[in-house]
Amino acid sequence: MTKDNRKDVMIVTTVTLSKWGNSNGVRIPNQFIKRLNLTEGSELEAILTPENHILLRPIAVQETSEELRSHLKQLLSKVQTNSQRHDEIDLDIEGDELI
């Protein structure tokens, strides 16, 4: 097996199904763990395709409120004060909106 850190290379390897308590499991090769920046306890989504293939993919880590606030501040800092803006548009009341 070759060591390759390029993102455009598909890495294929064989794993063995093993008994793990009342279930079965496979060990994920370390090079996969490193390339995906996973750690023990990382959650993966298991998908069974219509072709009966099993796919595992990392679940994206949800950003914290502080990270979202920081990102919003970064985006708002790019707004120029002299940029052209549109006038307010009144769409009347529709549905059960509270005023």
User: What tokens does 78 get?
Assistant: 């790019």
CA–CA gap between residue 34 and residue 30 (Å, rounded): 6
Ranges 3-17, 52-66, 75-89: which has the least confidence: 3-17
CA–CA gap between residue 5 and residue 35 (Å, rounded): 7
Do 70 and 76 meet the contact criterion of CB atoms below 8 Å apart?
no
CA–CA gap between residue 62 and residue 13 (Å, rounded): 30
Judge if pTM exceeds 0.85.
Answer: no
pLDDT-derived band at 50 (thresholds 50, 70, 90) equals very high
Spatial CA neighbour of 1 closest among 21, 18, 15, 20: 15
Ranges 12-16, 60-64, 69-73, 86-90: which has the least confidence: 60-64
